[in-house]
Amino acid sequence: MHKLHTFHGGLKLVEHKAASTRNPPQQASLPKQLILPLKQHMGAHNQPLVKPGDRVLAGQLIGNNPHERSVALHASSSGTVSAIEKRPVPHPSGQSDFCIVIDVDGLDEFVEQDEVANNHSPEKLIEIVRQAGIAGLGGAVFPTADKINTAYQKGIHTLIINGVECEPYISCDDTLMRYHPDDIIRGVELFQQILNPELTLIAVEDNKPEACEAMAEALEQNKLQKTELVVIPTIYPSGGEKQLLQVLTGLEVPENEYLVDIGYLCQNVGTCAAIADAVDRQRPFISRMVTISGDNVTSPSNWQVRLGTPVEHLIEQSGGLIEKSDAKVIMGGPMMGFALSSGQVPVVKASNNFLVMRDQSIPHHPGAHDECVRCGQCAEVCPAKLLPQQLYWHSRAQAWEKTVDYKLFDCIECGCCSAVCPSNIPLVQYYRAAKSEIVAARKATAKSDRARARFEFRAHRLELKKQQDEERRRKKREALRNKQNADKGAEDPVKAALARVQAKKQAKEGQPKNTDNLTPAQQKQIAEARARRKQQRETGQ
């Protein structure tokens, strides 16, 4: 029996999962158009690899970004690319973004697959995950290949498989565990093949007895070594990586560190199934299990859906809206989800649930809240041990530095604080807005820093070139001068002057002296006269 621990705060929430798990999951039909956002993950935007008019096949790579951290994008059925343009995408801001739009031909033709090979090396398995375009299905949509690669490089001792689906209404992971446990266990086996952990813990909450049973059976049949199924109490948000680690081990991840830094890797059950699909069936990540739930949809249910399917198509498949004039669709759960701006918003890699509600039954309305009464309840329930009230004040005052001081980025946006706030303050919305502002400001600063660095480098390069040019010109001038001197036969002026004096002296010595033609008596007289003059000069007389 695995020893369990608790984490600070959290909530016991009323469940609404029974309606969508009443029946087995179904295969959703193909829509007329698939809308595939070029960015569905945490990381850089993909570049389109197709253009309007191109015919594409299911599983064909249609978007990628080989230079930065990103997740490959594949066509989720066959058809013709009709546009690459901005369309509404699932985002808290309700923004639009570039999407590849495919007019579906209904043939659902797949790209040809190579022979399936066994016994891949860890590096090859990571590459298969990368090429399959898998992003973490637990909600963060971090590129899975990058996450595994970091764990592979650093080495881990414990693999945690997250089957904890703690939001009310969401049941896609529960459904996956009930109906496809072998795929999940096969994915776990592949993770073990890559990372060779000493221990694997598969965590499932105790409110999912059917899933626990199915997983235990699959584990037994597949005989995975050093792997334990751990049933944990149902407390929201125990599905958060850091909270789950705390429940399973009692450990808290140090500030500014990740699980992998202390030897753990956490992966969602859906990600495991997607990896099994990629490795064993060579199927890129083009469909996923999605829950349609809420009080305004006729038949809450779970669907295996092709990515890019508009949410209104899925709602129609689920029997349609009960109250058409008063509908609100939220992607995710009531705690962490956000409202969608249009029924045309597509299913993306992160879409676990569409909560279809009557507008009046949604508890929090931005702008319509009372003032903070400083009751402190938000701090009591915060699983990240933050001070939500202070974060709220500073977010509201746009004092961004203060929000960072109060560890805004440790907030997992679980919504516990908003749920207990007696003033109905939509705290998480304030935090999300603050995070977006800070991230945008940091990006702008990084951009201007890069521009300044580029400018300074260019100025330095130009100055260096100027100096080199000047030196080159000086050497050229000197060489030219030397050449001209050599051409003229010119010599050193000092040497030349000395040579001239020498030549004059020699010429003078060669001339006959004035006294050579005189008689010896005359020469004697002259010599005596010279001696006298010399003596007079010397004596001064």
Task: Find the DSSP H helices in 413-514.
Answer: 416-420, 427-488, 493-510
Of 321 and 428, which CB lies nearer to ligand SF4 in the complex structure? 428
What type of residue is 360?
Q
Determine, following the binding rule CB under 6 A, whether residue 235 of this chain makes contact with ligand SF4: no
Determine, following the binding rule CB under 6 A, whether residue 284 of this chain makes contact with ligand SF4: no
> 10 Å Cβ neighbour count for 463?
10
- Among the residue ranges 55-63, 215-223, 409-417, 455-463, the one whose residues contact ligand SF4 (CB under 6 A): 409-417
Among 276, 412, 429, 435, contact with ligand SF4 (rule: CB under 6 A): 412
The alpha-carbon radius of gyration of the chain (Å, integer) is 42
Query: Minimal distance in Å, beta carbon 246 to ligand SF4?
Result: 13
Of 188 and 416, which CB lies nearer to ligand SF4 in the complex structure? 416
- Among the residue ranges 68-76, 131-139, 312-320, 418-426, the one whose residues contact ligand SF4 (CB under 6 A): 418-426
Q: In terms of Cα–Cα distance, which of 202, 205, 200 is closest to 181?
A: 202
- Among the residue ranges 41-49, 285-293, 387-395, 489-497, the one whose residues contact ligand SF4 (CB under 6 A): 387-395
Of 194 and 378, which CB lies nearer to ligand SF4 in the complex structure? 378
Determine, following the binding rule CB under 6 A, whether residue 378 of this chain makes contact with ligand SF4: yes
Determine, following the binding rule CB under 6 A, whether residue 416 of this chain makes contact with ligand SF4: yes
d(CA 292, CA 175): 12
Q: List all residues 6 or more positions away from 305 whose beta carbon is below 8 Å from its beta carbon.
A: 28, 287, 288, 289, 290, 314, 347, 351
CA distances for 257 relative to 83, 157, 262, 359, angstroms: 42, 17, 8, 40
d(CA 403, CA 458): 37
Residue with tokens 């776990």: 188
Of 385 and 460, which CB lies nearer to ligand SF4 in the complex structure? 385
Determine, following the binding rule CB under 6 A, whether residue 191 of this chain makes contact with ligand SF4: no
Residue with tokens 């003229």: 488
Determine, following the binding rule CB under 6 A, whether residue 372 of this chain makes contact with ligand SF4: yes
Of 380 and 491, which CB lies nearer to ligand SF4 in the complex structure? 380
- Among the residue ranges 102-110, 212-220, 310-318, 420-428, the one whose residues contact ligand SF4 (CB under 6 A): 420-428
d(CA 434, CA 436): 5
Residue with tokens 């999951």: 25
Number of residues that bind ligand SF4 (CB under 6 A): 30
Could you give the string, one character per residue 424-463, with x where binding to ligand SF4 holds by CB under 6 A and - elsewhere?
-x-xx-----------------------------------
Query: Minimal distance in Å, beta carbon 244 to ligand SF4?
Result: 15
Q: In terms of Cα–Cα distance, which of 265, 311, 384, 372 is closest to 10?
A: 384
**Residue 12, φ and ψ in degrees, nearest 5:** -95, 115
Determine, following the binding rule CB under 6 A, whether residue 390 of this chain makes contact with ligand SF4: no
d(CA 24, CA 19): 11
Of 285 and 431, which CB lies nearer to ligand SF4 in the complex structure? 431
Determine, following the binding rule CB under 6 A, whether residue 382 of this chain makes contact with ligand SF4: yes
Determine, following the binding rule CB under 6 A, whether residue 13 of this chain makes contact with ligand SF4: no
Token pair in block for residue 235: 């407390």
The distance in angstroms from the start CA to the end CA of the chain is: 138
- Among the residue ranges 214-222, 352-360, 368-376, 491-499, the one whose residues contact ligand SF4 (CB under 6 A): 368-376
Query: Minimal distance in Å, beta carbon 335 to ligand SF4?
Result: 9
Farthest CA pair distance, the chain = 159
Of 191 and 392, which CB lies nearer to ligand SF4 in the complex structure? 392
What is the helix, strand, coil percentage profile of the chain, to 5?
45, 20, 40
d(CA 276, CA 185): 9
The residues of the shown chain that bind ligand SF4, judged by CB under 6 A, are: 372-378, 381-384, 386, 388-389, 391-392, 411-417, 420-423, 425, 427-428
